[in-house]
Structure 1
């Protein structure tokens, strides 16, 4: 399943909408995604599953790239 991860670059950074970045990761669950990203110093705000029409919409985005971990 594909998940969209909303995060800040630094774990010490306060979440601000304008600085929030996103990435897409394949995984089994939210817990699995958190384990895969644990070695990075990201301040993860939210992890959301991406399926169906929402996935098709996201694929049209020029920044759509699935991170292979």
Structure 2
């Protein structure tokens, strides 16, 4: 996933979640993500994929 693809899928609270995962503030998490920090990028991809998987599991009609 490119940075632009990831940014297009961001939702409210994703930087808070990223900050919790990385053990930093949401502002610091956003800065790391925007600087293309590898750990931040990988974690954000997992956050997005996990959310999409949960939606797909509980609302399969949205992905047909």
Higher relative contact order (CA 8 A, sep 6+): 1
The TM-score range, normalised by the shorter chain, is under 0.3
In proportion to residue count, which structure has more strand? Answer: 1
Higher helix fraction (1 or 2): 2
